[in-house]
Each structure stands twice: as C-alpha cells, then as structure tokens.
Amino acid sequence: MAMGIGQRPVIQAQGWGWRHAGRRNWALKNLDLVVYPGERVLLLGPSGSGKSTLLLALAGLLRSPEAGDEEGSLLVNGVPASEAAGYAGVVFQDPSSALVMGRIADEVAFGLENQALPREEIWPRVREALAAVGLNYPPGRSTESLSGGEQQRLAIAGVVAMRPQLWLLDEPTANLDPDGGELVRETLRSLFAGSPEATLVLVEHKLEPVLELVGRAVVLAAQGVVADGRPEEVFARHGAALRKAGVWVPAPPPARLAPPRPAGALVAAAEAVGACYPGSPRPALEAVDLEVFAGQALAVRGPNGSGKSTLALVLASLLRPSSGRVRFVAGGPAREYTRWPARELVRWVGTVFQEPEHQFVARTVEDELALGPRRAGVPEKLARAKAVELMERLRLGHLAKANPFTLSGGEKRRLSVASAIATSPALLVLDEPSFGQDASTWAELIELLAQERDAGRAVVAVTHDDELVAALADREAHLLAGRLLPSAQSAPAACAPLR
C-alpha cells in the first residue's frame, strides 16, 4: 500500500533523544523518523545504539524526568509517546520482566481486561492466542514453571490476544528453539496478512528468518538514523559499512575458530541427576548422566522446556538435585558440592544466568566485574586491573561507572559473561551467552570463550545459537523432556518433591 498519502503517522520523531538517569552519554540523539500505518520496519544497529531504548519510549515506558532526560519530540498516534501507554503491544528481550500474573491464561487475559473487553470475548481470545504460539498447557499452569523460551511465547501470546495496531518486538525469537521461532513467525505472518493496517517495529540480530516479514530497514546509531530503505537496498548500499560497525547483515555463517579439541581431565560429572519444581507434573530433569572436561566446550541443546537451564543451575551448584548428585573433581572445598560457600564457589565456577539482571549486585559495571575476584581473595589492584581488561575487551569501557541495570540487553549479557570469567574458574556454565549481540560483540564473545577453553577451562553453553555451536563447540548434549537423548523418548517418571 502507498504510505503517507492522507495518513497520520503512527510514529513521528523529530530531533528526539533520550539519556538514561545517571548516565553522561545519550542513549539516542537527533532521531528523525516517520512510520505510517501498515509499515513493517526492521530496526537495526550495533549493540548499545538505542534500539531497545526507542522501543521502550514508543511503548510509553520512558517518562522524563523520573527515568531520564528527553529532547525533541516523539509522537505515537499523534500524541506524546509518554502519554500513549497501552496503545502498542510490546514484547521485550527479557520476558520475565513483563509477566505479572501467576497462571498462563490469566497472563494473556490481563491486557484484555485492561482494555475492558466483555468477559465472553476474553477467554476465546486467550485460548486462540495460546494455541497460536504453541503453549498447549492447562490454563492454570504456573507462569513460573515455564522455561525462558516458553515465557517468551507467553509474552507474545499476550500481544496476539490484544490485536494492537502497533507491534513493538525486541528480539522476540532469540530465546526460542527453531520450531518455536518458526511458530512465532508463522503467527506473525498470519496476523499481519489479516490486518493490513497493523504496524510493526521489529528488532532482530539474525536476519534471514525475518526478512519476509518486513518491507523497510532503519539503521540506528547513537546519533540517529544512518540508513533507511528497503532491506535489500540498505544491505546492497551499506552492507560493508554496516558489517564493519557490527550490524548483522545476511552473510555466510562464521568459520570455526579451531578444530574440535579432545577431552582433558574430568572437571565435573552429573550422575543420575533428577530435578523437580513444585507444582510441575513431570520432572525438569530425570536420570541425567553428563561429564564435563577441561579444555572442551560443551553445547547443551534442546527445545524450550527440555530442562537445559535447570541442568545449567545444577551443574553450577545453584540448584540441589532432587535425586542423584553432581561431583566436582577439579578442586574446591572438601564437602558436598551443593554446600560450598559463595566465596569458594566463585573461585571454581563462573555462571551466566538466563536473565543476567538476576546476578547483578554492584552499583557500577566496574564494581560488578571486580566483585568476583575480590571475593576470591584477589588483591584490589589486580581485581581492578582484571575488570578494566574485560571491559575494554567486551566494549564496556565507556560504561564503567554506569549502573548495570541501565545497560542494553546485549550489554548486560556481555557484563554477565565477563563477570563469570573474571575469576578464571575451572568451570564456566553459560546460559545463552551470545544473546542480544551485534556481529562484532558476538565475535569478541566467541573468541573470548575459545581462549578460556584453550586455557584449560571447561565451558558449558546452553544455547539455541547454531553459529555459536558451529564456531566453538567440541561436543553437544541434547535434552528432550528432561532426559538426555537418545533415552529422551522414554516415559517420564512421577515427580517427587524437592529435598
């Protein structure tokens, strides 16, 4: 359809900029952008270029002066974006930050109830939305019992049910398994085919699967829009410069960094490990046997809800198994692994959570990176030097004094990986370590993890990132329904309570 002729813009930015509270630098500045009804816009830019900040603002969730400083104007449907809360349907990078209800059906119904829809219209929409994203659980299933990927699908279902005219999606499929990602894209294709006036602003780093959904690409830098046009035209004209800046562009997969490495000494072993969560009808893990070796990178793979993150928590001694045990044989205190004090655990195991915010405890990025070495007994001068080294390596140096919670999603992920590495532990357990990265920071992360592996660390990465597996993994372990394949097809056992 022809855009802009006699139509009021859905989004109109003129000289708009935003600076988060307490930050010296602007997250985004000098933004001029007009988006009309029915446009499907792919928002690109390197990590930290302001993409997520813009989506938050468009969703009406940034208000000056409480959250930061604003300049210029940003209108949504003709009114200031800060007054347009509720107009757009939004899915964030971290789905758990948006979930407010305890049961999955109530979560999807929440937005519809806020729209004051009649009750008889709400529940058919709830059922249709849950089916559309493949969440075929009973409506009373606890939202907390869902995996991170399943929570993402639930967040998408909430937007599907609301049928908004403006969709704001921040990497909606990044934490989904391939089947779940394709199901979401198919749902979006169907919805937009039936709603030609619906407008989409989509942030994605891996482009090939989503190009058919969009008709326009807008590239952001901290200084505003640097490229705008049809995706194929933008890539043809600016592809080399974008790639150099770290923006993902369609390209062959990255090469492997080194040949697969043989196993070194045994570092840790899961022996017949089972894990259950309260209220869950089946175990999250059942009879899992897995060995982790020094100098090897192990990729843990499987569909959402298969137990990958639970296995990571068990291997990192952050969750006590319901049955079986984990042996750590590379050193450490002479006591049961799950009873190690934090000051000892941090010396031997580095962990990246699925939601990095859950592990941040310091007020600044620099302090967060120095905290682990300090707890491990490293002198203050050396702890600071290690923090500075990692910040520069992972392009966080300009954020040294920033609060970790004000970082972009990709920056938070890099900080969590750097924090795990800071104490040079024998075992690294990383849950989706490459999430939210641009092409440059992705390559830096993979190279850094390869160096840790080559230095003799055992690296365990829970991931849906095929490129990470191809570039780094020496072994793969596949989970399905809480069991390691090929035994995953067996019938699940009953779930005993956690001890």
pLDDT tens per residue, range 250-307: 777 677 777 788 889 999 999 999 998 876 778 999 999 999 999 999 999 999 889 9
Whether 159 shows a pLDDT value over 50: the answer reads yes
Q: Is the peptide bond before 486 cis (omega within 30 degrees of 0)?
A: yes
pLDDT of residue 375: 87
Burial class (CB in 10 A: 0-12, 13-18, 19+), 92: buried
pLDDT of residue 77: 93
pLDDT class for 3, splitting at 50, 70, 90? low
The tokens of 376 are what? 């491990």
- Taking residues 37-60, what's their average pLDDT? 91
Beta bridge partners of 155: none
pLDDT class for 6, splitting at 50, 70, 90? low
pLDDT tens per residue, range 213-264: 999 999 998 888 999 999 999 999 998 888 888 888 877 767 777 778 888 9
How far apart (Å, rounded) are the C-alpha atoms in residues 98 and 88? 14
Q: Is the peptide bond before 65 cis (omega within 30 degrees of 0)?
A: yes
pLDDT of residue 149: 77
Whether 494 shows a pLDDT value over 80: the answer reads no
CA distances to 90, 296, 346, 432, 495 from 148, rounded to whole Å, are 17, 26, 25, 10, 21
pLDDT of residue 122: 93
- Domains of the chain by range and CATH? 11-245 (3.40.50.300), 266-489 (3.40.50.300)
pLDDT tens per residue, range 68-81: 999 999 999 999 99
Closest by alpha carbon to 41, among 236, 229, 241?
229
Question: What are the residues whose beta carbons fall under 8 Å from the beta carbon of 200, sequence distance 6 or more?
Answer: 39, 40, 41, 167, 169, 188, 192, 213, 214
3-state helix, strand, coil split of the chain in percent (to 5) is 35, 25, 40
pLDDT of residue 445: 92
Question: What are the residues whose beta carbons fall under 8 Å from the beta carbon of 223, sequence distance 6 or more?
Answer: 29, 30
Q: What is the pTM of this model?
A: 0.77
The tokens of 191 are what? 């919805």
Whether 479 shows a pLDDT value over 60: the answer reads yes
pLDDT tens per residue, range 318-335: 999 999 999 999 888 878
- Phi first, then psi: give them for residue 403, nearest 5 degrees: -70, 130
Q: Are 184 and 159 in contact (CB under 8 A)?
A: no
